Amino acid sequence: MAATTTTTSFKAALLSTPSISSSTKSTVLKTRFTSSSSSRYSPIPKSLIAHHVSTRTNAIVAKMGTVPSAVSETTSLDFHTSVFQKEKISLADHEEYIVRGGRHLFPLLDDAFKGIKQIGVIGWGSQGPAQAQNLRDSLVEAKSDIVVKIGLRKGSRSFAEARAAGFTEENGTLGDIWETVAGSDLVLLLISDSAQADNYEKVFSHMKPNSILGLSHGFLLGHLQSLGLDFPKNISVIAVCPKGMGPSVRRLYVQGKEINGAGINASFAVHQDVDGRATDVALGWSVALGSPFTFATTLEQEYKSDIFGERGILLGAVHGVVECLFRRYVEDGMSEELAYKNTVECITGIVSKTISTKGMLAVYNSLSEEGKKRFEVAYSASYYPCMEILYECYEDVASGSEIRSVVLAGRRFYEKEGLPAFPMGKIDQTRMWKVGERVRATRAKDDLGPLCPFTSGVFVALMMAQIEVLRKKGHSYSEIINESLIEAVDSLNPFMHARGVSFMVDNCSTTARLGSRKWAPRFDYNLTQQAFVAVDSGAPINQDLISNFLSDPVHESIEVCAKLRPTVDISVPPDADFVRPELRQYS
C-alpha cells in the first residue's frame, strides 16, 4: 500500500542526481581539525548543491527502482485471539494489529496455554536463560501449575548456570535435552542456529504429535527451505521473537516487576496450526516474556529482517561505521580518546538516547546550524554507500546464501576432515577497543558522550537506508521500526555503551557474531572508499536526500511506536555481565 509522497520524493531524488565535475569539486575546500571542537569541513555554498553518485551507486539505485512506503505484498498480518485484546494501529497509513502486554495479563496465561502442562526450553545460550526465567516467574505469579523445564545436552557446562538460576533435576525443571523435548507440550528451541540446522531431524522425531514447536528466530525455516523441506505436519509451529538480546529481555522484565510494562517488544508468527491453539499460545508466550507490545509477522519475513538487521545497524554495520570513523578522526588529528568519544560514545550514548525517546529528527533538530550542515554532508555522502551493502546483504539472506554460510561456519568450529578447528577469535584487543576501556574507566555515570554532527549523519543515514531496503522488500512498519531502530537504541546500544561495541561483537549469538565479522569490513571499506572520498573531494549535498529524510512518513510511525515503548529505560551498569555460558571459557 504505497504512500504517494514517499514514492514521489524518492523518485525525485533518483532523477535529480547530476554528477559534479572535477573543476567544481576543486572549488570546495576542506579544512582540517584544529581543535577538539572544530569542524572538519567548511560550509558548502548553496550554489554548489548537487549530488555526486558513483557508477556503482547509480546501478544500485536503478536496480532498486521506485520504493513503496509500506508492505508491497498482499499477505494479511491480521489474526484472531480468543484470550487477549487485539488493537489496531495506523503506521504510515497502513493498518496493523498488536497486542499490548503487561503483568496484569498474567492471570490469562493458563487460558492462553490451554492443553500445555510442560514448556521445554531447549538451550542455555543468548535467549534461553532470559526466556526460561521470565516464563517461570510469570507462571508462578499467575499461580499456574505449568512446568518450565530446561533441556541441555549431557555434559553441558550450562547445567551449573541453570541450577544457579533455580532449575534443578530434583524438582523436575532441568534435564536431558531429548527427554525434555519428548515430555513437553510446547518446545522452545533456543539452541544456536547452526545447532538447529544439525539437530532438527532428531528434535522433530522426539516431539509428541499435536505438540507445539516454538522458535525465537526463523532461521530454521530458511535452512529447511534451502533443502526443499518443511516442518512435520503433525505439530504446530510458532515463533515469538524478542527485539533484543536475551540479557535485555531478562533485565527489563526484572525492572518491570517494579514498573508494569517494562520489557522488550516482540514479533510473533504462526507458521503451522494443527488444532487452532497456535495464536493464543504464541501471544501468551510473548506476554509471559514481558513484551510491552507484540506485533504479527511471518516466519519467513522474520528471519529475513532479523538476520539482515543484525548484519546491518544492529551490529555489523555499526561496528564497521565506528571503526572507519575512529580511524578517520585520529588521522585527522583528534586524540584517540576524543575520537572514541565522538564515534562509539556518541552513537551508543546521546544519539541512541535521543532516537529512543524523541526520534531521528530530534537528533538533527538539536544541532546548531553549522552542525546541521556537517550532518547533511555526512548523511548525503553515506546514504547510498550504506544502502549498497545493505541491499546486497538482504539479497544474500533472502537467497539462503547467508544461512548456508552460518551453517558451514558452525561446522568449522570443530576439527574434521583432517583440518583444525577454527572457532571465532575476539576483537577486543585492537587499539580502538583498548582506548574504549580507558574512556569508560574515567567516564561519569550519566555521561552519554558528545553529539558529533558528522558521526550522527553517518549513523542516521545508515538507519534510514536500512529502513528503505526493508520497506522496499515488503516488511511491515512494525517490523521495520523494531529491527532498524527500537532494537538498536533500546536494547543493544545501551549494552554497547556500558561495555563497548567489541564486547557485543564478541559475546552475542553465534549467527550475529559471524555476521558482524563478515559484513562490518564491507561497511568500513565502502564508507572509506566512497563516502569519505566524496566528502574530501567536496561533493555537494544531495538536497533531495535531505528533504526526503526530513519528510519521510517513517517519523510519524516512530512516534506511534514510541508511545508503545517500554515505560522505563533499560538500566545497564558498567559491569553488566552478558557473556554467554559457552564463551566463559575463553574470557
Q: Which residues are catalytic?
A: 217
Q: Please check if 509 is assigned to a binding site.
A: yes
- The span from the CA of 156 to the CA of 160, in Å, is 9
Ligand-binding site membership of 258 (annotated): no
Torsion angle of alpha carbons 206, 208, 214, 217, nearest 10°?
30
The pair phi, psi for residue 315, each rounded to 5°, is -155, -65
Report DSSP state, residue 184: -
The Cα 20–Cα 403 span in angstroms is 40
Q: How far apart are CA 441 and CA 574, in angstroms?
A: 9
Partners of 531 in the β-ladder: none
Is 145 annotated for ligand binding?
Answer: no
**Quick one: residue 284, left, alpha or beta (phi over 0 = left, psi -120 to 50 = alpha)?**
alpha
3-state secondary structure 519-579: HHHHHHHHHHHHHHHHHHCCCCCCHHHHHHHHHCCHHHHHHHHHCCCCCCCCCCCCCCCCC
Residue 483, marked binder:
yes
Q: What are the φ/ψ torsions at residue 94 (nearest 5 degrees)?
A: -120, 125
Q: Helix or strand or coil: residue 252?
A: helix
- Across-strand partners of 121? 150, 188
From residue 353, alpha-carbon distances to 15, 314, 320, 344, 348 in Å are: 35, 15, 21, 13, 8
CA angle (232 as vertex; 227, 236 as ends), nearest 5: 125
Phi, psi of 296 (to 5 degrees): -90, 145
Helical ranges in 290-400 per DSSP H:
299-311, 316-331, 336-340, 352-358, 360-365, 369-399
For strands 174-176 and 94-100, give the pairing.
unpaired
Q: Residue 205 and residue 232: Cα distance in Å, rounded? A: 9
Identify whether the C-beta of residue 296 lies closer than 8 Å to the C-beta of residue 271: no
Instruction: Pick out the residues of the known binding site for substrate.
Output: 368, 509
Instruction: Pick out the residues of the known binding site for Mg(2+).
Output: 306, 310, 483, 487
Instruction: Pick out the residues of the known binding site.
Output: 306, 310, 368, 483, 487, 509
